[in-house]
Structure formats: C-alpha cells, structure tokens
C-alpha cells in the first residue's frame, strides 16, 4: 500500500488543503471604491502557475502596444515578473506554519506577493535584497518537480532572473531609472515622501501633512 508524502499531497493531491489547511494562494484585486475581487488558488501546485497567469491576464488593466503596425493589448504590468514571483513564493514558503498563507495583493499603486516563513539560517536578508542568495531550497522536492516542468531552475538562476528583470522591463514602464531616482530625490527633499530601507530594498512612504 502506497501513502503519499506531504510533498505529494501539495503537488498532486486532489485537495491539498485536506492535509495542509494553509496550502493556498489568496489573491485579490482592489479596484477602489470598496470594490474588491478575491480569488483563491488551492489546487494541486502543479496546476497553480498556469491558473494564476490566466487570472492575471483577465484581471490586470491593459494598454495599447503601438510598437508595430498591428496594435495589440498588453498588460500594464509584465505577467512574466508576477509569474516568477508567485512561483518562488509557492516553492520556498514554509508550509508548516499553521494558518499562514501565501498572498497576492493588487491595487492601483502596487502589487505585493507574500510568502510565509523567514529566510533559511544560511541565507541573509541582505543576500535576498541584492539577489545574491545561494541556491538553497526549503522544499527541494517541490523545486525538483517544478524544474522538471520547466517552471523554475534548481541552480540559483531564479535570483539572477529577478535581478535581470529590473533591467529587462525598465522600458516596459517607459521610465528611465536615473530619471525616476531624480524625481524621488526631489520629493524627499520637499519632505513629501521619506525613504526607507537601502539598496534594492529601498521603498518610499508618503509623509502625512
């Protein structure tokens, strides 16, 4: 008689939450004016990436790409970046924390992907913030299967991919990095916003007036 392992339940189980109540990606889009569209992805992990991508294509606002003779609708935010972030969140989260769930939060100003669990002891926050973390997985069986499915790499390319995406998709937003930095510095100097964090983990908060 064969009994599935925990990884087997998560990857292929008909109802993974029957074994792991926290095995779900809870997503929502806040359109403003109290209009929120929630979506739960609690299917077997091998199905979730494509389901999330399909949902994002329907959910994210579109703009016209006029770079060629034939115009086409493209999402305002690159789907590939979100797909990579969601896959990493699902693969490297801590599934032993009861009640903790992965989340994908979208509103008009930001997109946030959260993954439960602290970094592994051998990985520092500084390494994560600079995309130089070593290739160590909390869930090696999950990452092995996703590697076989060509969803991700086992050899540390994921961190390199995130680092390269900041340059690859800079033109997508039609805003140069140096220009953005100048504008943000001016807003800081005017005491309209304040800078927090450092390096690639820098973010800004509006100063209440």
The 10s digit of each residue's pLDDT in 94-113 is 999 989 999 999 888 788 89
pLDDT of res. 19: 92
- Give the relative orientation of helices 79-92 and 157-168 as an angle to the nearest 10 degrees: 160
Split into its structural domains, the chain has a count of 2
The 10s digit of each residue's pLDDT in 87-98 is 989 998 999 998
Residues of the chain where predicted confidence (pLDDT) is lower than 50: 157
pLDDT of res. 187: 78
N-to-C CA span, the chain: 67
- Looking at residue 85, the DSSP 8-state letter turns out to be H
The answer to whether the pTM exceeds 0.95 is no
Q: Is 169 within 8 Å of 179 (Cβ atoms)?
A: no
pLDDT of res. 174: 56
- Give the relative orientation of helices 140-148 and 79-92 as an angle to the nearest 10 degrees: 140
- Beta strands 102-106 and 111-114: pairing type? antiparallel
pLDDT of res. 69: 56
Dihedrals phi, psi of 166, to nearest 5 degrees: -65, -30
In this structure, the answer to whether residues 11 and 81 fall within a common structural domain is: yes
pLDDT of res. 33: 83
pLDDT of res. 158: 55
In this structure, the answer to whether residues 82 and 160 fall within a common structural domain is: yes
Q: Look at residue 168 and tell me if it is in a domain.
A: yes
For residue 173, CA distances in Å to 16, 76, 106, 112, 158 come to 38, 8, 17, 18, 22
| Domain boundaries, position 97 | 6-174
Residue 121 CB coordination number (10 Å) = 7
In this structure, the answer to whether residues 90 and 166 fall within a common structural domain is: yes
């Amino acid at each position: 008689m064969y009994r599935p392992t925990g990884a087997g339940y998560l990857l292929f189980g008909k109802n993974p939450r029957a074994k792991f109540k926290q095995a779900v990606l809870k997503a929502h889009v806040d359109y403003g004016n109290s209009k929120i569209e929630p979506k739960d992805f609690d299917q077997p992990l091998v199905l979730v990436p494509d389901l999330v991508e399909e949902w994002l294509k329907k959910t994210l606002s579109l703009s016209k790409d006029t770079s060629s003779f034939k115009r086409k609708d493209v999402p305002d935010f690159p789907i590939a970046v979100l797909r990579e972030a969601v896959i990493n969140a699902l693969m490297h989260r801590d599934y032993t924390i009861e009640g903790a769930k992965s989340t994908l939060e979208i509103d008009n100003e930001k997109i946030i992907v959260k993954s439960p669990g602290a970094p592994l002891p051998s990985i520092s926050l500084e390494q994560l913030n600079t995309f130089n973390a070593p290739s160590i997985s909390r869930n090696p069986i999950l990452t092995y299967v996703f590697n076989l499915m060509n969803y991700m790499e086992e050899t540390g390319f994921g961190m390199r991919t995130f680092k390269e995406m900041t340059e690859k998709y800079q033109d997508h937003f039609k805003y140069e990095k140096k220009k953005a930095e100048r504008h943000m510095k001016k807003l800081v100097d005017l005491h309209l916003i304040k800078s927090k964090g450092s390096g690639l983990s820098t973010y800004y908060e509006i100063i209440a007036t």
